[in-house]
Structure 1
Amino acid sequence: MEHCEDSGLDEKMVPRTEGEIESLIKRLKRIEGQVRGVQKMVEDNRYCVDILVQISAINAALNKVGFNLLERHTKHCVSKAVREGNGEDSIQELMNVIKQFSK
């Protein structure tokens, strides 16, 4: 998912707080640990259903991070663009990323 900062449109960017960054990094590191755990399960030739359950948990965790970012982007970046009269492009960008995210 492209963040408004990454799109070269810094004027639309509403920077994340240190707390937001820390929370996202913490969640992503937890997911990273889960992925390593699944890798170990495969290496240990564990039962398929147990591995699939863990993969499902990883997918749910990633979706939660993604929805958190989508919500924050909408409430901050898109909202700012709308207030400043530049909402159409920002809304279209949001719709495109929602389509991509929901595949």
Structure 2
Amino acid sequence: MSHIHEHKDDLLKRVRRIAGQVQAVERALESEADCAKTLHLVAAIRGAVNGLMDQFIEAHAREHVASPELSDQERAEGLEELLQAIRRYSN
């Protein structure tokens, strides 16, 4: 997965940002913060995870489905992997 390695630093920054957001929710719960504030923190996490998923979907589609160097079999496999991930994510 060369496309993952090429963007490793950016992906790690996103994941670490999400981890920080999860920690903020934990702190909010521990400190019995206002419900609305906590709700906004959770919504921010969802948005961040959606952005991360979008980045992975795009990279996978470009590398494993749309790349002109791929055989028809490789494209079919890449598409099936992508569809499985989308199905899991959307449930």
TM-score normalized with structure 1 length: 0.77
Cα separation, 2, equivalents of 1:102 and 1:31: 19
Which residue matches 1:92?
Answer: 80
Match of 1:10 in 2: none
For 2:4 and 2:14, locate their aligned partners in 1 and report how far apart those are by CA, in whole Å.
Answer: 16
TM-score w.r.t. the length of structure 2 is 0.86
Q: Percent identity between the aligned chains?
A: 26
- Within a 5 Å distance, the mapping from 1:7-46 to structure 2 comes to 14-16=1-3, 18-46=5-33
Q: Which runs of 5+ in 1 are unaligned?
A: 1-13
More helix by share: 2
User: Is the Cα contact below 8 Å between 2:60 and 2:78 reproduced in 1?
Assistant: no
Give 1:45 shift. 0.5
Q: Does structure 2 retain, via aligned residues, the 8 Å contact 1:81–1:90?
A: no
Runs of 4+ in 1 over 6 A off after TM superposition: none
Instruction: Determine which structure has greater relative contact order: mean sequence separation of CA pairs < 8 Å that are 6+ residues apart, divided by chain length.
Output: 1
